Amino acid sequence: MCGRFTLTVARIEAVAEAFDAALDPADAAGYRPRYNVAPGDQHWIVRLAAGGRARTLGLAGWGLVNHWAPDAARAFQQINARAETLAQRRAYREALKSRRCVVPTDGFYEWYGPPGARRPMWLRARAGGLLALAGLYEHWTNPKTGEVRTTFTIVTTPPNALVAPIHDRMPAVLAEAEIEPWLAKGDRRVLHAAPDDALVATRVSRRVNSARNDDPSLLEPEREEDAGGQQRLFGGS
């Protein structure tokens, strides 16, 4: 499961450079760092341009709406897609064949603890910097307005040893060398849990629980667990 995440870099151009992706200046002009991206929000995805190998970085809505769907009602039910069943599920098998993407982030949240007292944890690359999450995207046309919307889902896997005590699923984190096999070929062998030592977890503010809160104070640790900073763009997965 991945229900919230972050992208806190100062410049979206740095993300485009890290993924060797073209970026529309008009999209870049509206960028702001995000500390609490929630389902339904617009976020950035990297995909291959039509008919070529060049990558593009652009905006899409989080929550997949299939191109054949009569409405967008299932978007919030399709924020995540299980790696094990992508090829079997009607909602994902077409996108797996031809509409794969990478979701740039520098951390994601998971919650732990008993019901009523669950606490958010921010998980990020041990070496700092960006994480590349495997995703799928779709184009959906609103039958009433003719508006075309691009939406995406994040692929999840069973957890690694760090995440397992917190949650039974985690995003599929791609190593830098796995990005091209996923985008170009849909190689499902890259859809695996991150190495156990690739990420670190920090207990952060409960204000993350409300999607209305979106500011740097959300990431202030309640207890110091990692003194590492962001030292390079790609994290050590």
pLDDT in tens, 216-236: 999 998 754 333 333 334 444
Domain count, the chain: 1
Work out whether the CA dihedral 189, 174, 227, 107 comes out positive or negative: negative
User: What are the tens digits of pLDDT across the range 61-120?
Assistant: 999 999 999 999 988 999 999 999 999 999 999 999 999 999 999 999 999 988 888 899
Q: Does residue 221 form part of some domain?
A: no
Catalytic status, residue 101: no
User: What does the block give as tokens for 25?
Assistant: 């200046």
Q: Does residue 125 form part of some domain?
A: yes
Long-range contacts of 114-121 (CB under 8 A, 24+ apart): 119/203, 119/206, 120/4, 120/203, 120/204, 120/205, 120/206, 120/208, 120/209, 121/166, 121/201, 121/202, 121/203, 121/204
Residue 59 CB coordination number (10 Å): 16
Q: Does residue 8 form part of some domain?
A: yes
Q: Does residue 104 form part of some domain?
A: yes
Q: Are strands 173-174 and 131-141 parallel, antiparallel or unpaired?
A: antiparallel
User: What are the tens digits of pLDDT across the range 138-175?
Assistant: 999 999 899 999 999 999 999 999 999 999 999 999 99
- Of 101, 110, 138, 178, which is the active-site residue? 110
- CATH assignment at residue 138: 3.90.1680.10
Q: Does residue 81 form part of some domain?
A: yes
Q: Does residue 235 form part of some domain?
A: no
- Which domain does 13 fall in, by range? 4-207
The reported pTM is: 0.92
| pLDDT for the residue 223 | 52
